[in-house]
Structure 1
Amino acid sequence: MQRNKSRFSHLIIIIFVFFAGDAFAQKESYIQSLSKQNRWVDSVYNKMSRKQRVAQLLFVRAHTNKGQAYADSVGQVIKDQQLGGVVFFQGGPVRQANLINKYQKLAKVPLIITMDGEWGLGMRLDSTISYPYQMTLGAIQDNNLIYKMGQQVAYDFKRLGMQMNLGPDMDVNNNPNNPVINYRSFGDNMYNVAKKGIAYFKGMQDAGLLTSAKHFPGHGDTNVDSHFDLPLLPYGRGRLDSLEMYPFREAINAGISGVMIAHMNIPSLDKTPKLPSTLSRPIITGVLKDSLKFKGLVLSDAMEMKGVTKYFPNGEADVKAFIAGNDIIELSENSDRAINLIRKAVRHGSVSAAEFEERIKKILAAKYWAGLNQYKPTPLANLSQDINSDAAKALVQQLSDAAVTQLKNTTKLNPFLKTAVVSIGVTSPTPFQMEAVRYFPNSRIFIVNKDAPAIELSNILAWLKQYPQIIVGIHDTRLRPQSKLDYNSDVKLMIADLASRKNTAFSVFANAYAIAGLPGLEKAGNLMVCYQMTPELQKSAAKALSGGLKPAGKLPVTINTFFTTGMGL
């Protein structure tokens, strides 16, 4: 009797494990779903007119910081044109969730709601968490942390009622003066960029969010911002295949759901003069879809950018983008005009009927995969608390701790010595100083403005001679940390003076490339690069200086001959 009971219990466990395993199995990826017939997709497609099908290609711009009249005008466009989706920009999270609910009510087929969230909601929205920039993430050695970040970003997006993130950026930033990619890239090593990008998008996709690697075939080696003009990528096919396209190829093999096309002129791939890659069928259909076998969503970069409208005005760019092979045409200057022009192109057979059907069904399949076939409005209760959780904040700190990169460490600090704690480039005490004072109690704070006059700097340097050890933070307070600091020449000379002293430890809370513009800093006995000026990274640096954290980051870019990719003690 006892033996039979035991066998019965064992059978129950096996059955439970079998069904539980099935229930918790990760759902198939969007790419996998495309190989199967989908009744919902077929049913929706069959009920649509050609105009309604074409409208699914168009995604319109939306904001929640431009007032009610603007929000209402976008709503009217959605109601009248029945577009495929909405791309949100600046605003606030609760306002945005509320507006998403209103816009979805106006759509007969639910909209895909998306946003640029390379470092999470904070890239566009106030009162939300910003995760570290991708260059900061490029220093981290544990890619599982980046996967976790992807999962958290997906939760945040979905909690607001969004289904897609226009990220990660998978450009290889091999031009330090790149004005548009730069710190948005994981770095200049294509293998690191690929691994980090895959970890990030897999985290998002495994949590049910559509993603988009950008900017194909690679925007990292340009010195022109495609928002303002058309960059030229002059390299041959061999170089592009082996370098720029490598992360995208790896992402495609790993199952990325979407790829965004850059606005760049690339003669080695398409000889048409002044033609942006966004409008090139040889690049989008020939290279991306046919050669690289990408089956997912192809998105244009914003069609209102000068890199595309300068040479193809009056809606011509929209039609060319469609014919080239884009499935989603982002931010047309005039979506109504675009719909009519694309309808005409379809009628004239510019794209085959079979290809047109496949591309519209691909968009509908993305909506189905994201759960829009059973759309429910976003609940607004506790929204702010949910997207600003303690767990998410702890993850930001964990990522920051893991990114700190020690480049030099011959100057050892003593917590009991009299210490000067200097922050340069700011006008008030910094989190770095507040934390450092906790670890070095016998200390005094000094503030150095980025435009401080020579006489003031001379006085501060005289004061600092009294201190047996000096801790210096170099800060970039600008919203976008560029490759060169905007300090005056006297402040830069002061940094060189301090670096020549053997009792000084530097932490750089700025773009890593900025170190190249501070001659003499390579002489510092203690130098950490922390990539950006967030409170979390400033805390991480102070902790590292006190010995409470062992920096494990590795430099994701080459700064100069002294500090090259992969360096880190």
Structure 2
Amino acid sequence: MKQKLYVACTILFMLSLLTQSSSAQKTSFINSLSEQNHWVDSVYKKMSRKERIGQLFYVRAHTNMGKAYEDSVGKIIEEEHIGGLVFFQGGPVRHANLINNYQKVSKVPLLIAMDGEWGLGMRLDSSVSYPYQMTLGAIQNNNLIYKMGQMVAYDFKRLGMHINFAPDMDVNNNPNNPVINYRSFGDNKYNVAQKGIAYFKGMQDAGLIVFAKHFPGHGDTNVDSHFALPQLPFTRARLDSLEEYPFREAINAGISGVMIAHMNIPALDTTKNLPSTLSRAIVTGVLKDSLGFKGIVASDAMEMQGVVKNFPNGEADVRAFLAGNDLIELSVNSKNGAKLILKAIKKKKIAKEEFEARIKKLLAAKYWAGLNTYNPTTPANLLQDINRPAAAELIQQLADAAITVLKGSSQTIRQNPLRKTAIVSIGVDRPTTFQMELSKWYANSMIFLVGKSTSVTDMNRMLQTLKGFDQVFVSIHDTRARPASKLDYSSDVKYLVAALAAKPNTVTSVFANPYTITGLPGIEKSAGIIVGYQKDDAMQRSAVKVITGLMKPAGKLPVSVNVYFPTGTGVSF
């Protein structure tokens, strides 16, 4: 009875939180900007120029760095009157409590942000991770992605947060991209646009301010802008038709924010070594003027080497501001940056009307998020609320919709449940969910494990043993925290994959980044191939459902892997 009562209360609470906001949310954030807002005007009028400049800056916050660090952030809030915070690693309850404390010391309520492309689990312990965007790119039912957006928004608001720096709307047409890759919905610009819009609308309709990133498109780079400045060497026509396409569609669909990438783009600005973040030609000329974007423009993190390497000591901050960024994220020295911006204003490097409009836009975001009537977060039952059964159910639904058969039919995938069956998991040191679930359906089966560096002797011994089996199910696992384009297997283990695939009745499932298939020559000889995109238990369960005939596969490959498996590959039966 107590459990039923708790579930009922949780559902009611969730519904109230999803609908609770300021009256501004009866209209979209973009549309609200054209309306007279007395709260915004009143708050702006009471601010000093220093306080107004402070609204531009959003600084880093953690709950896993100790009290001294937490206190230092509180001091910045009080002294610099910053506009908001970007939370990183820590725990949900600690985050909620600290957000409440920080709101108490801020003269104007803070907008609280986080990078949560796959939900709170991207940053926090004890919280939910939804599938990566590349996994979502395989899904054909975009309503599920919209629903995920609503669930993510609920989780953010439950902790007292208002901004998600998501979705990633980069078209990942470079398999070796070291920074975007699995964070993208894929290499098809139309699919990226549709999935990104579904995701952001889910979040935005549920009350979050969201940002498409990284404008004008970070998908075709082989340099990580955290460490150096990538160059996008393409023509204006190419950028217009490909990289910018998803952003243009998102703007037309009413997205509230756009984040600028740190890239040098000669076709848009010929200034040598100038990051796009600091280019007025790109931020104001292309995004605001040409594409007509009226929402919030945020810089990517200003602590990244791609932007500060050539513009140190606050120079990057003032240039980002003058370029047209409304929100300066993670300045290396916000105090110094604010001083330089004040100097630029005094020297009339920006029109008074433009400055006022941009600060009022940030205040309007606070109003739209409900901060005109701020209420602290309630920590009680927080962990239960964000780890609710509905979240686990949706994660399984998303996995079921994403699982993709690249090769095979219902017969070749299922094989014969009565025959002697080997179930081999590679890249692991203990039995996998895939093995445990599949063995329930194949009574005459045996489990085999192969580590990332298993010796040739042990592998040969296993291959010899497998000669006594009629059929083999192979699962390939990437156990790393982030699914890279290449597996960290020894070359001998990769040869084993090819040897197993060459056997007459082998079905191979890949629970890893789909690009890893390129580095597994010979895998295409398998009688059946299934892609599960990531290591999660939900994906492994989905593969078993397809193998055993409980579910028809519907996913389509969101990226081109090789000549055998181009974008859009997906067998249905």
TM, length-normalised to structure 1: 0.95
Q: How far has the Cα of 1:24 moved from its partner?
A: 12
Matches within 5 A, 1:112-123: 112-123=111-122
- Over aligned residues, Cα RMSD in angstroms? 1.3
What residue in structure 2 maps to residue 471 of structure 1?
473
Hey, what does 1:8 align to over in structure 2? none
Q: How does 1:202-221 map to 2 (within 5 A)?
A: 202-221=201-220
Residue type of the alignment partner of 1:438: K
1:139–1:553 contact (8 Å) kept in structure 2: yes
1:485 matched to 2:487? The reply is yes
Distance in 1 (alpha carbons) for counterparts of 2:210 and 2:288: 17
| Mapped partners of 2:223, 2:302: distance in 1 | 17
Distance 1:463 1:141 in 2: 41
- Deviations along 1:185-216, one digit per CA (max 9) or x if unpaired, are 00000000000000000000000100000000
Match of residue 51 from structure 1: 50
Q: Does 1:30 align with 2:32?
A: no
One-letter amino acid of the counterpart of residue 362, structure 1: K
What residue number does 1:351 align with? 350
Report the Cα distance in structure 2 between the residues aligned to 1:433 and 1:82, rounded to whole angstroms.
55
CA shift digits 1:240-276 (9 cap, x unpaired) = 0000000000000000000000000000000000000
Inter-partner Cα distance in structure 2 for 1:118 and 1:233: 24
Alignment-mate amino acid for residue 489 of structure 1: S
> Residue 425 of structure 2: which of 420, 423, 433 is its match?
423
What SS does the aligned partner of 1:439 have? coil
Residues 25 and 368, structure 2, Cα contact 8 Å, conserved in 1: no
2:440 partner SS: helix
**Secondary structure of 1:213 counterpart:** strand
Q: Does 1:271 align with 2:273?
A: no
| Matched residue type, 2:65 | K
8 Å CA contact retained: 1:469, 1:503: yes
> Which residue identity does 2:140 align to in structure 1?
Q
Counting only pairs closer than 5 Å after superposition, residues 309-388 of structure 1 correspond to structure 2 as: 309-388=308-387
CA distance in 2, matches of 1:413, 1:213: 44
Pair 1:181-2:180 in alignment: yes
| Corresponding letter in the other structure for 1:125 | L
Match of residue 456, structure 2, among 451, 454, 457: 454
Q: How many residues align?
A: 548
Distance (Å, rounded) in 2 between the aligned partners of 1:259 and 1:420: 50
CA distance in 1 between partners of 2:68 and 2:195 (Å): 41
State the match for 1:536 in structure 2.
538
Distance 1:480 1:393 in 2: 21
* Per-residue deviation, 1:501: 1.1
- Structure 1 counterpart of 2:445: 443
**2:41 matched residue in structure 1:** 42
Q: Which amino acid aligns with 1:419?
A: T
Write out per-residue CA displacement over residues 476-534 of structure 1, whole angstroms, 9 at most, x where no aligned residue: 01111110111111111110011111211111000000000000011111000110000
**How much has 1:416 moved relative to structure 2?**
2.2
Shift of 1:25: 12
CA distance in 2, matches of 1:99, 1:415: 54
202-211 or 26-35: bigger deviation? 26-35
Does the 8 Å contact 2:438/2:544 carry over to 1? yes
Give the letter for the 2:503 counterpart: R
Residue aligning to 1:515? 517
Aligned mates of 2:233, 2:381 — CA distance in 1: 51
Return 5+ residue gaps in structure 2 as ranges: 1-21
Q: Specify every segment of 5 or more residues in structure 1 that has no aligned partner in the other structure, as ranges.
A: 1-22
**Partners in 1 of 2:430 and 2:445 — Cα distance?**
17
Give the structure 2 partner of residue 3 of structure 1: none
Distance apart, 1:26 and its partner CA: 7.0
For the residue of structure 2 that corresponds to 1:507, the secondary structure is strand
Contact kept, 8 Å, 2:178 with 2:224, in 1: the verdict is yes
Is the 1:405–1:554 Cα contact (8 Å) retained in structure 2? yes
Contact 2:25 2:207 in 1 (8 A): no
* Aligned equivalent of 2:196: 197
Q: 1:166-177, aligned counterparts within 5 Å?
A: 166-177=165-176
Alignment-derived partner of residue 221 in structure 2:
222
CA contact (8 A) 1:413 1:546 kept: no
Q: Is the 8 A contact 2:24 2:32 kept in 1?
A: no
> Which letter maps to 2:420?
K
TM normalised by structure 2 equals 0.95
Tell me the distance in 2 between the aligned counterparts of 1:363 and 1:415.
Answer: 61
1:299 maps to amino acid: A
Question: Aligned letter for 1:541?
Answer: A
Residues 367 and 25 of structure 1, relative CA distance in 2, 3 Å threshold: closer
Give CA deviations for 1:143-197 in whole Å, capped at 9, x if unaligned. Answer: 0000000000000000000001000000000000000000000000000000000
Q: Say if 2:24 and 2:368, in contact at 8 Å, map to a contact too.
A: no
How far apart are the structure 2 equivalents of 1:353 and 1:502?
74
Deviations 1:329-358 (A, max 9, x none): 000001111111111111111110000000
What letter is aligned with 2:527?
G
C-alpha separation in 2, matches of 1:89 and 1:423: 34
Matched residue of 1:255: which SS?
Answer: coil
Matched AA of 1:346: I
Q: Is the contact made by 2:260 and 2:298 (CA closer than 8 Å) also made in structure 1?
A: yes
- Cα offset, 1:544, TM superposition: 1.1
The amino acid that maps onto 1:291 is S
Task: Provide the identity percentage.
Answer: 68
Contact 1:146/1:199 (8 A) holds in 2: yes
Indicate which of 546, 550, 553 corresponds to 2:552.
550
For 1:348, the aligned partner's letter is: K
Aligned to 2:4: none
The answer to whether the Cα contact below 8 Å between 1:426 and 1:475 also exists between their aligned partners in 2 is yes
Shift of 1:67: 1.2
Counterpart secondary structure, 2:229: coil
The Cα of 1:73 is off from its aligned counterpart by 1.1
